[in-house]
Amino acid sequence: MESILFLGTCEEDGSLGKPARETLGVASQLAAQLRASFAVGLIGTSVQEAANQAADSGATRFLGVCGSDFSHSRYATDAAAAEALCRAANATLILAPGTSRLMRCLPGVAHRLNGRADTHVTAVAANEGAITAQRWYYRQRMEARFTRSHRPWFILIDPGAAPVWSGTSRKVEVENIEVVLPDSARKTEVTGFREPEAGLNTIRPDADLLFVVGAGWTKKQPDGKVHAAEAEQLILEFLKHTRCSLGSSKSLVDLGSEGQPVLSFLSHLNQIGQTGSTPRHPKGLATCCHGEEPHTIGWRFISERRAINLDPQCGWARGKADVLYVADAFAVLKRVNELLKGT
């Protein structure tokens, strides 16, 4: 019989973050389908609150590695904690959120336990007792379903791929798992977080809306002039009001390195598409972006897609968007910002 362990790290306030609750839902459902034993394993300064949050998940054991040594992402301490939790739970199947913190240490933990690890998994299912994992390959163009007989099997679920699990919070008994750290495990010290230099964090994976800007914002407009400063101000105001995540086409971010006018807060990290990212947001709005295939491939996981473009023949009109507004994005955004401001 499988022994399933949900493995998660606690947020700074001691709670379970969104990616962790998504994976908890997957683990809980799988355990119920397989009638497998199910434990929750947590790492953090204090894990009680997170364990209470998971009270309704069907888990019968709640294990924790706690203390200030485990408050922040650090390979040596996270790996030691995760290894101890897997051993204590005698886990054959470990499901963990694919956060940067756990992606960094769990493949190493799998190696220590002579296990196997799969990352970027988007779904896990049980079919007649066999567990199948699902993930995308070749820049989200091919989807594969696969299974493994080797145990322990570590499965890291991509954030945003599963619904967020929630249940009633209730006090549970947490088994404290002792981890004795060698001094060498404390060699790396986490001194804090650094924001991008512009002081504006425009990439927000948890936002409901992905707002994409294209090269059109810096191109000559019908009056024959470029309005880059106005574009920057309109976009910044929209970001401030909506707290959306900012994406860009490749053409726009490339313009910066070519010395042409570009929005100062954009970097290649904002690029969506074949050679950029493939984020997951419930809604997307593209502006001044043509909607070519290498760009829209990055929209695969955006559920509701809209675009604003002057050209009724643009790529978005050819089945890439649910709604295309054939309009001037400068005028639309100006009016939308007024509405958001309540004027």
Ligand X SMILES: Cc1cc2nc3c(=O)[nH]c(=O)nc-3n(C[C@H](O)[C@H](O)[C@H](O)COP(=O)(O)OP(=O)(O)OC[C@H]3O[C@@H](n4cnc5c(N)ncnc54)[C@H](O)[C@@H]3O)c2cc1C
Among 118, 271, 320, 336, binds ligand X (CB under 6 A): 271
Extract the tokens encoding 131: 């567990």
- If binding is defined by CB under 6 A, does position 275 make contact with ligand X? yes
Report which of 246, 242, 222, 243 is spatially closest to residue 232, judged by C-alpha positions.
246
Neighbouring residues of 313: CB distance < 8 A, sequence distance ≥ 6: none
Among 38, 153, 299, 330, binds ligand X (CB under 6 A): 330
- If binding is defined by CB under 6 A, does position 284 make contact with ligand X? no
Q: How far is the CB of 39 from ligand X (least distance, A)?
A: 41
Q: How far is the CB of 289 from ligand X (least distance, A)?
A: 4
Where in 90-129 is the site for ligand X (CB under 6 A)? none
Cis bond leading into 205, ω under 30°?
no
Q: How far is CA 177 from CA 47, 88, 186, 263, 314, in A?
A: 11, 8, 18, 50, 58
Among 21, 295, 305, 320, binds ligand X (CB under 6 A): 295
Q: How far is the CB of 256 from ligand X (least distance, A)?
A: 13
% helix / strand / coil in the chain, to the nearest 5? 35, 25, 40
- If binding is defined by CB under 6 A, does position 214 make contact with ligand X? yes
Among 14, 25, 276, 284, binds ligand X (CB under 6 A): 276
- If binding is defined by CB under 6 A, does position 281 make contact with ligand X? no
The end-to-end CA distance of the chain, in Å, is: 62
Q: Which residue has the tokens 């005028």?
A: 331
Which region among 91-99, 162-170, 193-201, 265-273 touches ligand X (by CB under 6 A)?
A: 265-273
- If binding is defined by CB under 6 A, does position 216 make contact with ligand X? yes
- If binding is defined by CB under 6 A, does position 161 make contact with ligand X? no
> Which residues lie across from 271 on neighbouring strands?
248
Between 155 and 329, whose beta carbon lies closer to ligand X? 329
Between 67 and 216, whose beta carbon lies closer to ligand X? 216
- If binding is defined by CB under 6 A, does position 274 make contact with ligand X? yes
- If binding is defined by CB under 6 A, does position 288 make contact with ligand X? yes
Q: How far is CA 279 from CA 66, 158, 284, 300, 321, in A?
A: 32, 10, 10, 8, 16
Report which of 86, 12, 87, 82 is spatially closest to residue 43, judged by C-alpha positions.
82
- If binding is defined by CB under 6 A, does position 229 make contact with ligand X? no
Which region among 96-104, 142-150, 198-206, 302-310 touches ligand X (by CB under 6 A)?
A: 302-310
**Distance from C-alpha of 300 to C-alpha of 155, rounded to nearest angstrom:** 22
User: Which residues bind to ligand X, rule: CB under 6 A?
Assistant: 214-216, 219, 221, 249-252, 271-276, 288-290, 292, 294-295, 308-311, 314, 328-330
